[in-house]
Amino acid sequence: MTSPANPVSPLPASGADRGHLLTEQINPHSQQLDRLTTLELVDLFQREDQRVMDAIAQAREDLAQAIDLTARALGQGGRLFYVGAGTSGRLGVLDAAECPPTFCTPPELVQAIIAGGEGALVRSSEGLEDRSPDGAAAICDRGITPLDVVVGITAGGTTPYVHGALEAAQQRGASTIFMACVPRSQVPVTTDVDIRLLVGPEILAGSTRLKAGTVTKLALNLLSTGTMVKLGKVYGNRMVDVAVTNQKLEDRALRILVDLTGLDRPAAQDLLGASGRSVKVALVMHGKGCDRATAEALLAAQGGHLRQTLEAP
């Protein structure tokens, strides 16, 4: 899908009142927050956080569209980029960082761009989110192409850094996804997929690291995991593309082999060693009765999809 060339959205003027935004409004249920007992405070958080799952359910079709778009692009050699500032940027960094150990993906496949760079992970750099040209420059620096997908994450929907990045990505022909916690009527955009995660006003007014942050983390979990499932990184509900890099992951790999092959643990350990410590290769070796080189060739012929490889004649 080709992204539109027109600007992503009209942004509020500098110094404009953003009080109308859903994420900035006052929550009527927490107006006495500083007078609550500790247990009352915990109960209030619990009630408000129930809205997170409702927001995911309401966005289900847009999330599914984003997964299909991303899987299609990555399957053709593209990359996935998360762009954000503050909490949104840090959540993007977290999800990108977890893809290599979970799905054995190369670090360049899923990347995160955060306003302020790595320093923003450990110290406040929120002032940098107002610089739209910096977001555009980051897209240029990463060499974004029409094969890539760029996800702009901004809880309040108005972060100039994110909008600058999305506009630059569109100009380069990349697919774009917008993820925000305000209604479309408050911040309209023109992107390939527009995901709105409406959790309502925060318990602590304007602190979008709370419900908005939680729902964003869930949405990113869905997007990355769903994409990897579509790319054949999963067999059943097993992480068969797990990187066997420590004792915990070796134990996980061996349990997968024992469960799926019926071998005992010592035999599974021998099979894992013979496969070059690749669970997918080991399963093909066992299922097809072949050596490592043949198993690797069979997997490559099916684009790395284990199920397709095992079910092929």
Q: Are 36 and 44 in contact (CB under 8 A)?
A: yes
- Strands in the chain per DSSP E: 80-84, 110-114, 149-153, 175-180, 193-196
Q: Are 242 and 252 in contact (CB under 8 A)?
A: yes
What is the number of H-type helices and E-type strands within the chain? 11, 5
Give alpha helix (H) positions in 76-177. 86-103, 132-141, 160-171
Q: How far apart are CA 203 and CA 183, in angstroms?
A: 18
Catalytic residue among 24, 40, 48, 98: 98
Decide if 118 is catalytic: no
Catalytic residue among 24, 48, 129, 167: 129
H or E stretch at 298: helix 292-301
Residue 149 buriedness (CB in 10 A; 0-12 / 13-18 / 19+): buried
Q: How far apart are CA 200 and CA 214, in angstroms?
A: 12
Sole residue written with tokens 């399963």 = 283
Q: How far apart are CA 206 and CA 156, in angstroms?
A: 9
Q: How far apart are CA 236 and CA 299, in angstroms?
A: 17
Decide if 126 is catalytic: no
Enumerate the active-site residues. Answer: 98, 129
